[in-house]
Each structure stands twice: as structure tokens, then as C-alpha cells.
């Protein structure tokens, strides 16, 4: 009965409270919470989320959030998912200095001007305003020059809307490769190498060949493993707390009854 009541409360909690955060993480101190998932709970008021000062990863996707003001105090937040909400004003995120990965797909961000407040976020590498997998987008994405403008506004971005914009596989990578190929083609005439001292490729031979490396795969797997491990620890803490409460309740019920003689 209690678990059903908790589930019903989670299904439509509307406002984030200390009780909700503690019950879902098993932490008794809000500042101890590092990783938090609050998906699809009908939340429209972020409440005391700003008290989780050490929060690093936060998933608030699929809610009814419009006001991001409480997030302004989360200076250590590196990953933030706000997809499928009703957000138009991003100004509070200006203070989230550590933000690296930001998902805003499926909101109501209307214009490029709404994005200027994110420019001070120098660590931002991955940003998403649309997600074709779930058919999430924003009105700003209808702008014909949207992609070019965003890339110009955020020169440090590595991934936009799930597509790499730097490194191997990106448009810039292909452009540089094409330029080098063109330069190399101009160095040969009738099959003979022609010396052009002022016209040389800017990288060494074989640079453009993609080399197989397991390092990146191992690093990503290690990262995902740590995320899962951290979640397991949180669940274990919560389970321990629930078990202790249940045992305490049962011990009270098992106390010997006294009969009048």
C-alpha cells in the first residue's frame, strides 16, 4: 500500500520538495546528491532543487517546467537534460559554469536571441535543440540559418543536435581533407612531383586515415559503467532506508500483547 502511495505521489508531484528528493535518492542531505533523474513526473515548479549544490547530472525531461531560476545556483552541474518541457527563457543557465552537455529539444525556444545567454558557458561541448528520434524540436530550429548561426555563436561546440561538428566525421573535417587532397593533386603534373615551396598541406601524410583505436571505446564504456554503478549505489541507499523503516514498523507490530486476567 505504501509503495503504491509513493508511486502515485511521484506520478504527479508538481513541485520538487526535499521529501521527494530524499525519497528518490536515499540521501538525507540535499548537498550529497550528485546524480538525479526526475523524468515525466508532471513537475512544473523546481522548488528546492537549487539546494542540491553539488549536483553534477540532472535529468528533468518530460515535465511541465517553464521557470529555470532555481537552477542558477548549480555551479557544478555538467549534464542537464530539459527535453520535452515548456521552456522559453534560458537566462538562469548563464550561471551554470560547468555545463558541458545540454539537451533542450522539445521546448518553445523561439529565436536566436534566446540563446545569447548561453555564450558565457565556455565548457559547453554538446547542445541539442532538436531530436529527430523523438520528433522533438524548438521554433528556433525553423530558421534557415539556424545551424550556421549556432555554430558561430558557440565555437567550442563539438556536437550539435546529435551530430559531430568537429573531429573525424564532421563537415569541418571533410572540408580540411578535401582542401589537402586538392593541394596534393596540384603538386603533381604528368605524374611527376612539382616543387611548390609555398604550397604545402598543413598536416603530415596519412593523417586523414582513420585509425582504429580501442581507447575511445574503453573510455566511453568506463564512463557508462561508472554512471550505472553510481545509480546502483543510490538505489541501494534508498532500499536500505526503506528496509530499515519496514523492519522498525514490523518490530512495533510484533510486540507481545498483554492480556488482562
Which residues form the domain of 255? 215-261
**140 and 176 inside one domain:** no
**124 and 184 inside one domain:** no
**23 and 149 inside one domain:** yes
CA atoms within 13 A on the CB side of 112: 13
Three-state DSSP class for 125? coil
**12 and 133 inside one domain:** yes
**203 and 249 inside one domain:** no
Q: What is the pLDDT of residues 62-115, one digit of tens each?
A: 999 999 999 999 999 999 999 999 999 999 999 999 999 999 999 999 999 999
**127 and 194 inside one domain:** no
Report how far residue 184's alpha carbon sits from residue 35's, in angstroms, rounded to the nearest whole number. 50
**130 and 196 inside one domain:** no
**199 and 238 inside one domain:** no
Are the CB atoms for 97 and 119 separated by under 8 Å?
Answer: no
Are the CB atoms for 127 and 81 separated by under 8 Å?
Answer: no
Report how far residue 121's alpha carbon sits from residue 143's, in angstroms, rounded to the nearest whole number. 23
Residue 23 C-alpha cell reads as: 525519497
**65 and 112 inside one domain:** yes
- Looking at residue 84, its pLDDT comes to 97
**151 and 181 inside one domain:** no
Bridge partners for 193 per DSSP: 188
Residue 16 is part of a domain; what is its CATH number? Answer: 3.80.10.10
**25 and 146 inside one domain:** yes
Report how far residue 52's alpha carbon sits from residue 57's, in angstroms, rounded to the nearest whole number. 11
- Looking at residue 1, its pLDDT comes to 42
* Cα separations in angstroms, 233 against 25, 51, 213, 236, 246: 9, 21, 31, 5, 20
**Cell numbers 511541465: residue:** 64
Final residue of a structural domain among 163, 197, 223: 163
Q: Give the total number of structural domains in the chain.
A: 3
42: left (phi over 0), alpha (psi -120 to 50) or beta: left
Q: What is the pLDDT of residues 113-147, one digit of tens each?
A: 999 999 999 999 999 999 988 899 999 999 999 99
**118 and 230 inside one domain:** no
Report how far residue 74's alpha carbon sits from residue 78's, in angstroms, rounded to the nearest whole number. 9
110, 102, 107: which is closest to 143 by C-alpha?
110
**Cell numbers 532538436: residue:** 130
Confidence of residue 213 (pLDDT cuts 50, 70, 90): very low
Are the CB atoms for 90 and 115 separated by under 8 Å?
Answer: yes
Final residue of a structural domain among 163, 195, 228: 163
Report how far residue 73's alpha carbon sits from residue 55's, in angstroms, rounded to the nearest whole number. 10
Amino acid at each position: 500500500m505504501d509503495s503504491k502511495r509513493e508511486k502515485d505521489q511521484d506520478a504527479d508531484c508538481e513541485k520538487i520538495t526535499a521529501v521527494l528528493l530524499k525519497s528518490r535518492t536515499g540521501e538525507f542531505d540535499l548537498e550529497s546528491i550528485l546524480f538525479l533523474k526526475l523524468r515525466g513526473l508532471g513537475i512544473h515548479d523546481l522548488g528546492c532543487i537549487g539546494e542540491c549544490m553539488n549536483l553534477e547530472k540532472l535529468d528533468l525531461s518530460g515535465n511541465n517546467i517553464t521557470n529555470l531560476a532555481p537552477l542558477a545556483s548549480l555551479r557544478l552541474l555538467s549534464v542537464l537534460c530539459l527535453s520535452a518541457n515548456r521552456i522559453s527563457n534560458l537566462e538562469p543557465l548563464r550561471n551554470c559554469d560547468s555545463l558541458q552537455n545540454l539537451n533542450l529539444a522539445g521546448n518553445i525556444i523561439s529565436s536566436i536571441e534566446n540563446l545569447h545567454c548561453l555564450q558565457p558557458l565556455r565548457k559547453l561541448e554538446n547542445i541539442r535543440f532538436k531530436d529527430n528520434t523523438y520528433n522533438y524540436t524548438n521554433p528556433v530550429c525553423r530558421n534557415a540559418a539556424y545551424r550556421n548561426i549556432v555554430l558561430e555563436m558557440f565555437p567550442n561546440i563539438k556536437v550539435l543536435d546529435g551530430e559531430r561538428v568537429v573531429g573525424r566525421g564532421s563537415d569541418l573535417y571533410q572540408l580540411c581533407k578535401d582542401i589537402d587532397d586538392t593541394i596534393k593533386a596540384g603538386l603533381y603534373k604528368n605524374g611527376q612531383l612539382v616543387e611548390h615551396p609555398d604550397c604545402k598541406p598543413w598536416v603530415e601524410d596519412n593523417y586523414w586515415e582513420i585509425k582504429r583505436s580501442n581507447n575511445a571505446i574503453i573510455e566511453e564504456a568506463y564512463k557508462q559503467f561508472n554512471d550505472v554503478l553510481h545509480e546502483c549505489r543510490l538505489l541501494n541507499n534508498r532500499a536500505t532506508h526503506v528496509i530499515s523503516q519496514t523492519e522498525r514498523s514490523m518490530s512495533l507490530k510484533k510486540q507481545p500483547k498483554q492480556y488482562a486476567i
